[in-house]
Amino acid sequence: MKVLFLDESGDHNLSVIDPQYPMFVLGGVIMEVDYAKGPLTDALNDFKRRMLGRTDIVLHTADIIRNRNGFERMKEPEFRAEFLAGLNDLMRNADYRVVACTVHKTAHLSRYGMAAVDPYMLSLDILVERFCLDVGNVPRGGIIVAEKRDPVLDRGLDLAWLNLKINGTRFVQAHDIDNRMAGLALRAKSDNIAGLQLADLVVSPIGRHVLGKPDKEDWRIVENKFRRSPTGKIEGYGLVCLPK
């Protein structure tokens, strides 16, 4: 069975747009369930044990950048360089594929106005569609794991998932989603799930790249992990940038 772990970068709220980061990214990593529970979790724990001395600290990009919640030593230049190099090695060596949808909120609002769809829900449709195509015609061949946010947003996500199973998407019919997907599970960040932490590390470099900010090594790693067409095309297969 395959699993898609989802995370986001930026705020999906269209009424509040940060001019420094007017981007919303919903992205994820696709891998085998057994790999996620075994080798990936082991590799992540080995890295944490080596660098942090413990395994219960959750890798979270915002905390790493801001030197908080267990990452206080990131203020030390030598430790920071060693930590980021090790983190890049972890991302590079893990076995997964990346799918992501980016929404430039300013352009999205400009084009659609009051009819603009919530960026999270818009992106979810696209990623579920790609994941279903990736799983293929395998009954209960895939499961999606997303991070809990708050009760209102989680309820909205549950309703959006139900809508997908009833109405399908542009390219995948409802009965295919219902047949191929074992479900959508919402898990808390504190659950310390390796796949969700990897998804967290993947989405930020995608947002930076699409905005035209300088690429770092993490982007080059992610770029090599994108889901691709048989001819190697990323756009539309592993990465969808909206509005087009």
**Residue 67's pLDDT band (cuts 50, 70, 90):** very high
Distances (CA, A) of 164 to 171, 181, 191: 12, 11, 27
More confident residue, 86 or 11: 86
| Model pTM score | 0.96
**Tens-digit pLDDT profile for residues 76-105:** 999 999 999 999 999 999 999 999 999 999
Give the pLDDT score at 156.
Answer: 86
Q: What is the mean pLDDT of residues 2-18?
A: 93
Look up tokens 């920071």; give the residue: 80
Report the CATH number at residue 53: 3.30.420
In angstroms, the CA 91 to CA 29 distance is 11
Q: What is the mean pLDDT of residues 24-51?
A: 98
**Tens-digit pLDDT profile for residues 42-59:** 999 999 999 999 999 999
What phi and psi values does residue 22 have, to the nearest 5 degrees? -80, 35
- Residue pair 161/120 in contact by the 8 Å Cβ criterion: no
**Residue 225's pLDDT band (cuts 50, 70, 90):** very high
The candidate with the shortest Cα–Cα distance to 11, out of 1, 23, 3, is: 23
Give the pLDDT score at 168.
Answer: 94
Longest CA–CA separation in the chain, Å: 53
CA angle 184, 192, 34 (to 5 degrees): 60
For residue 8, pLDDT over 90 is answered with yes
Show the domain range for 182.
2-242
For residue 200, pLDDT over 90 is answered with yes
Number of domains composing the chain: 1
In angstroms, the CA 88 to CA 82 distance is 10
Q: Residues with Cβ < 8 Å from 143, sequence gap 6 or more?
A: 1, 2, 3, 4, 33, 181, 182, 183, 184, 185
Give the pLDDT score at 150.
Answer: 87
Q: Return the SS3 of 194.
A: helix
